[in-house]
Chains A and B, each alone.
Chain A
Amino acid sequence: MGGRESTMVLLDENGIRCDGRKIDEPRRILIKAGGLKNADGSAYIEFGENKILVGVYGPRDVHPKHMSNTDTGILRVRYHMEPFSVGERKNPAPSRREIEISKVIKEALLPAVILENFPRTAVDVFIEVLQADGGTRCAALSAASVALADAGIPMRDMVAACASGKAADTIILDVNNEEDQAGQADMPIGYMPTLEKITLLQLDGVLNPEEFKKCVETGIHGCEIVYDLQKKALNEKYFKNGGDK
């Protein structure tokens, strides 16, 4: 954040961003529920140039056995980027960044899923980032919620996610890759709109307390936009085509 100087104009005099968006406008979002034959639930999301595929298995037996919990089912999340998903080839082995993102996405989904009725089982969420362009964790979390719902996992609410941030001294919605590199702050938010609960929140960059509050509110607004598209995706699969894939 603010680490690299750039000649790019992040925000022009008409309030238009480097990719032509307004300050409170998210990128183009496409969400599809289902799509994978073997997975119990799946979803695909395109969020700007991000392309992410999510498959869910379970509730199923836990291996290794010692991980199982006699009181509740457990949730396991793996966030993984393909070697070809970024500019320079990425080593396919899980990086420390991917391990941390797996953990924060898991903890963002835990308040939503109801696994108490499935003791000694695991629900596995596999997130594969096919192409990355800034904001993958939010797009991945939004898709994972749809995949969990598609798998029929009982949920209190779906988690919708969107980042907000600060670039050119302005609070903006849905930070893209350029704004992430040259901007002043990036704040990914995961939110359950019906329960009004924030389940994922991270920040890097500098914000004063007023900007901080505005940034969270802006992100929540983005989550509400994503939430409508998540519901639309499930609607399209389950109610428009008679429930077939």
Chain B
Amino acid sequence: MTQTVIDDLKKSQILELLEQGKRVDGRALDEPRRLTVEINAIPKANGSARVRLGDTEAICGVKIQPDRPFPDMGDKGIFICTAELLPLSHPSVETGPPGPDVIELARVVDRGVRESHMVDVSQLVIQENKSVVGVFADIVVVDYDGNLFDACSYAATAAILNSKLPKWEMQDDIPSLVDGAETALPTTTIPVSITMAKIGNHIVVDPNSDEWASMDSRITITTDSDGNIVALQKGGKDGFTLDEIVKCGELSVKVGAQIRETLKRTGEDGQ
């Protein structure tokens, strides 16, 4: 998203409001936007979720299929998460290979889910060193209003929580599908990412697109169900002090717990 004169004007207004402890859309500084989750939006996928975070919308579909294991990980299944920004999501998005922003988005979302060990890959082995189950969580962003990191992360988490794992058995050296033996995809925890923007000396949770265009730096922290920090990424053109980092860590645990309740409920309704 390119910077314009309007963005400069918006930034001074956003800063002015923050000095009074207010945000452009009336939220508290530590208040995320409304999160709505529609699960199983894509019945042909093994699990799916359509997530709206304010006006940012992302859809995640999970496909589960047999795959060859990585050479040094023959006793573990495969988990891969991707994210893509579709041209229909914003006028400035063009078709073509992803730029650095989108590559970072995909890698940060993947790292959050992966490092939390949410998907229990040790239970996804069909035959050791030969055939394992691959879980592919592909996310597309369809509407842009800032903070794609969290919208994509929630979409992936909700889709994985509601995924059904088909069963395969080896027959004549190839995995073959066992009908009617689906189980819930084994998960160990619910990772939740919280992205915070630093604007001036203020830290706001879940920045919308105006705040995103005005921020000096940002930090995305993913926590697990036990309140541990499992992944983190700093971005933007300014830095953070140690105190600010510690404060962001505390915020991510606190706000993350609220979001986790919302995501957990979708899992309970869906099973």
Interfacial residues, chain A to chain B (CB-CB below 8 A): 1-4, 96-97, 99-100, 102-104, 107, 110-111, 187, 192, 195-209, 212-213, 216-217, 220
Contact = CB atoms under 8 A, between A and B. Distances in A.
B263 to A, nearest CB: 19
Contacts of B103: 96, 99-100, 103
Nearest to B107: A100
Interface of B: 72-73, 76, 100-101, 103-104, 106-107, 111, 114-117, 217, 219, 224, 226-242, 245-246, 249-250, 253
Contacts of A111: 217, 237-239
A212 B240 contact: no
Contact of A202 (B233, B238, B245): B233
Contact of A198 (B100, B230, B240): B240
A205 B114 CA distance: 9
A104 B115 CA distance: 19
Contact of A107 (B226, B228, B237): B237
Nearest to A204: B115
9 contacts: A4-B73, A104-B233, A107-B217, A195-B239, A196-B242, A201-B245, A206-B230, A208-B227, A209-B228
Interface of A is mostly: mixed
Given A3-B73, A100-B100, A204-B111, A198 B239 contact: yes
A214 B72 CA distance: 32
Contact of A197 (B114, B230, B241): B241
A208 B227 CA distance: 7
Nearest to B226: A208
Contacts of B117: 2
A2 B219 CA distance: 24
Contacts of A2: 117
Nearest to A109: B237
B249 A201 contact: no
Contacts of A212: 229, 246, 249
Contacts of A201: 219, 232-234, 240, 245
